[in-house]
C-alpha cells in the first residue's frame, strides 16, 4: 500500500498495512458464501485476538465505539451512573458513555504517560461512580496496577479502551486482559484493521456470554425470536473477520515494522530536533507505536499549532494531525465534572502535540525529511 514514488512524495499520517494474505482470506470468505456475520472466520478471528490480548474471551463487534457501548450495557451501567474517563482521548470514549445513558467524569492525564492520572482518579470517585474507563493513549498503556487498586478499593469496574494499543504490555502482560473488560477498534488507521471493526475482550465467561447475547439482538439462545431485553446489532461480518485473521497472523511482523519506524524517528529527531519529545515510555509500560506522536518545545496555542501543520503540508508534503481536543473543551461534555490537579495537562498536551507520518512503509530518508520539516516549521511558526 505504499505510494512513495519520489523523495518529495506526500507522506500521509497513516496507511493500512495490507498484503496478499488479507486479499486471499477475503476472497475465501466471499467464495464460501458466508458474507454476513455467520462463518468460520469470525471464530478464527476471535480465538486469535483473544490469544493476542491475553484474555480468555473475545467478542467481535462492528467498531470500537460500539465495543465500549456494549461493554457498559453488559455491565448494566446506565442512567444515574458515572464513568471516569480521561479528559484527553478520542471523543468516542466519552460518547459511548453518553450512549449508555451514563455521565462521563473527566479526569486529567499524567504529563509523563499522557494517560489518565491514577491519583486524580481516586479523588474523582463518588457514590455514583460505577467504572473507570482507562485509555491507552497513542499506544502507551495507562497505569493499570494503580487503577486496579483504586477500582478494587471502591468496588468499581475497570475497563480498558485499548483502541490504540494492540500488542502493548503493562508489567509484562498484554493490554486486553488487564481489567474486567477491554475494548478494541479495527478502524483503517489502527494497528490491526478489518476496515471497520471492534472487539470486547474479557476473562469473565458470564460477561462474554452477555456481550454475545446483546450484540445479536438480545435473542434468547433457547427460544428463537424471544428477546428478554432490548438488544443491538453490533455484529462483525465474516469478510471483516477474514481480513482480521490475516492481520493477526501478520501482526508480529507488522508491529516490528512500526517499532522500527519509531526507532528511525528517535535517531533522526535526536540529531535534528533534539528538543522535540517523542512517544513516552514509562516502565512498567511497554508501549507500541500507533502514531508517532511529537511534543513540541516552547509556547504553543491553537493558532501556532495550526500554522505548523499547514507549513508541514504546504512546504514539505508532510501530513500531520493535532493531538485530540480535550473533552472538557467540547460542547457535548460541557456539563461533565472535571477533575484535575494544579495545571491543565490535557490542554497543554493538546496544543503542543502533533502526530506525524507513521506508516510502516516509511524509509530512513522519509523520516529524515520529516525531522528537517518539523525543525523548519517550528522555527517559521514562531515568527508568524
Ligand atoms: C479509534 C478509537 C475509538 C473508536 O473506534 P472506532 O472503531 O472508530 O469506533 C475509541 N477510542 C479510542 C481511544 C480510539 O482511538
Tens digits of per-residue pLDDT, 234-280? Answer: 999 999 999 999 999 999 999 999 999 999 999 999 999 999 999 99
Nearest CA to ligand 1 atom 10: 92
User: Is 139 near ligand 1, meaning CB less than 6 Å away?
Assistant: no
CA 198 – ligand 1 centroid, Å:
9
Percentage of the residues of the chain whose pLDDT score is greater than 90: 97
Residue 64 C-alpha to ligand 1 middle, in angstroms?
A: 5
Atom number of ligand 1 nearest to Cα 137 = 13
Contact 256, 202 (CB under 8 A): no
pLDDT at 1 over 60: no
Does the Cβ of 290 fall within 6 Å of ligand 1? no
DSSP string, 18-47: --HHHHHHHHHHHHHT--SS-SHHHHHHHH
Q: What is the mean pLDDT of residues 106-117?
A: 98
Rg (CA), the chain: 21
Q: Is the CB of 93 under 6 A from ligand 1?
A: yes
What does the pLDDT read at residue 120? 98
Confidence band, pLDDT 50/70/90 cuts, at residue 5: very low
User: Could you tell me the three cell numbers for 137?
Assistant: 493513549
Q: pLDDT tens, 95-111?
A: 999 999 999 999 999 99
Q: What's the confidence (pLDDT) of residue 4? A: 44
Residue 198 Cβ inside 6 Å of ligand 1? The answer reads: yes
Average pLDDT over residues 189-215: 98
- Cα angle vertex 324, ends 86, 71, to 5°? 45
Digit-coded pLDDT (tens) for 42-72: 999 999 999 999 999 999 999 999 999 999 9
In the prediction, which pLDDT does 2 show? Answer: 46
Q: What is the DSSP string of 91-155?
A: THHHHHHHHTT-EEEEEPBPTTTSSB-HHHHHHH--TTEEEEEEE-GGGPPP-HHHHHHHHHHHT
Q: pLDDT class for 384, splitting at 50, 70, 90?
A: confident
- Report pLDDT digits (tens) over 148-172: 999 999 999 999 999 999 999 999 9
d(CA 119, CA 109): 10
Q: What is the pLDDT of residues 17-43, one digit of tens each?
A: 999 999 999 999 999 999 999 999 999
Is the pTM above the cut of 0.85? yes
Among 66, 164, 194, residue to substitute to test ligand 1 (most atoms within 8 Å of Cβ) = 164
pLDDT band for position 383 (cuts 50, 70, 90): confident
Report the run of H or E that residue 181 belongs to, with start and end: strand 181-185
Which of the four pLDDT bands, split at 50, 70 and 90, describes residue 3? very low
Q: What proportion of the chain, given as a percentage, has pLDDT over 70? A: 98
CA 16–ligand 1 middle distance (angstroms): 16
pLDDT of residue 187 exceeding 50: yes
- With a 6 Å cutoff on the Cβ, whether 293 touches ligand 1 is no
Whole-number average pLDDT of the chain: 96
CB 77 within 8 A of CB 100: yes
Does residue 7 carry a pLDDT above 70? no
Residue 63 Cα: closest atom of ligand 1? 7
Question: Residue 182 to residues 23, 164, 202, 256: CA-CA distances in angstroms?
Answer: 28, 12, 7, 23
Amino acid at each position: 500500500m505504499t505510494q512513495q514514488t519520489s523523495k518529495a512524495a506526500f507522506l500521509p499520517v497513516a496507511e493500512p498495512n495490507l498484503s496478499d494474505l488479507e486479499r486471499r482470506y477475503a476472497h475465501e470468505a466471499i467464495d464460501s458464501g458466508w458474507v454476513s456475520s455467520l462463518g468460520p472466520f469470525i471464530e478464527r478471528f476471535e480465538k486469535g485476538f483473544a490469544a493476542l490480548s491475553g484474555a480468555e474471551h473475545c467478542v467481535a463487534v462492528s467498531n470500537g465505539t460500539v465495543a465500549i457501548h456494549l461493554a457498559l450495557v453488559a455491565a448494566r451501567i446506565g442512567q444515574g451512573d458515572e464513568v471516569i474517563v480521561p479528559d484527553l482521548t478520542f471523543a468516542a470514549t466519552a460518547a459511548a458513555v453518553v450512549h449508555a445513558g451514563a455521565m462521563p467524569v473527566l479526569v486529567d492525564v499524567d504529563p509523563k504517560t499522557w494517560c489518565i492520572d491514577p491519583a486524580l482518579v481516586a479523588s474523582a470517585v463518588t457514590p455514583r461512580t460505577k467504572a473507570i474507563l482507562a485509555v491507552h493513549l497513542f499506544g502507551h498503556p495507562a497505569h493499570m496496577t494503580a487503577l486496579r487498586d483504586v477500582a478494587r478499593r471502591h468496588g468499581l469496574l475497570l475497563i480498558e479502551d485499548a483502541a490504540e494499543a494492540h500488542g502493548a504490555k503493562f508489567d509484562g502482560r498484554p493490554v486486553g486482559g488487564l481489567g474486567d473488560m477491554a475494548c478494541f477498534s479495527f478502524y483503517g488507521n489502527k494497528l490491526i484493521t478489518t476496515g471497520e471493526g471492534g472487539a470486547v475482550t474479557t476473562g469473565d465467561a458470564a460477561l462474554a456470554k452477555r456481550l454475545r447475547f446483546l450484540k445479536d439482538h438480545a435473542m434468547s439462545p433457547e427460544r428463537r425470536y424471544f428477546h428478554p431485553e432490548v438488544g443491538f446489532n453490533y455484529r462483525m461480518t465474516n469478510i471483516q473477520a477474514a481480513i482480521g485473521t490475516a492481520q493477526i497472523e501478520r501482526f508480529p511482523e507488522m508491529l516490528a515494522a512500526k517499532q522500527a519506524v519509531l526507532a528511525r524517528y528517535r535517531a533522526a529527531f535526536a540529531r535534528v530536533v533534539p528538543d522535540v519529545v517523542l512517544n513516552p515510555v514509562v516502565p512498567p509500560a511497554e508501549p507500541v507505536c500507533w502514531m508517532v506522536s511529537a511534543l513540541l518545545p516552547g509556547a504553543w496555542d491553537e493558532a501556532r499549532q495550526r500554522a505548523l501543520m499547514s507549513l508541514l503540508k504546504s512546504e514539505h508534503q508532510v501530513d500531520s494531525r493535532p493531538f485530540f481536543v480535550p473533552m472538557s473543551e467540547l460542547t457535548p461534555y460541557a456539563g461533565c465534572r472535571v477533575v484535575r490537579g494544579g495545571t491543565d495537562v490535557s490542554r497543554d498536551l493538546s496544543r503542543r502535540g502533533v502526530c506525524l507520518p507513521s506508516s510502516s512503509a516509511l524509509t530512513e530518508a522519509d523520516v529524515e525529511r520529516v525531522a528537517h520539516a518539523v525543525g523548519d516549521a517550528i522555527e517559521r511558526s514562531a515568527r508568524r
